[in-house]
Amino acid sequence: MSQLGALDYNTGKQILKLLQNMARNENMTVIIITHNLSITPMADKVIYFKNGGVQKIEKNPNPTNIDNIEW
């Protein structure tokens, strides 16, 4: 697994776009663990953790294309 936080903005965004496209086109599950809440609109589901446990789960019926997300 790679670390997107270590990448420059444009490369990180390209990798997220690749992951988003693969998930949609290949019907794959992709799990991204991040502190960057700005990218959560791209997800089908966001699971928030606190103190080692699940705090809440949000489902997103209309995920945003990564091209339309800025951080």
pLDDT confidence of residue 2: 53
Contacts (Cβ under 8 Å, ≥6 apart) of 23: 29, 30
Contacts (Cβ under 8 Å, ≥6 apart) of 51: none
pLDDT confidence of residue 6: 77
Compute the distance between CA of residue 61 and CA of residue 43 in angstroms, rounded to an integer. 9
Q: How confident is the model at residue 50 (pLDDT cuts 50, 70, 90)?
A: very high
In the chain, where are the structural domains located? 4-63
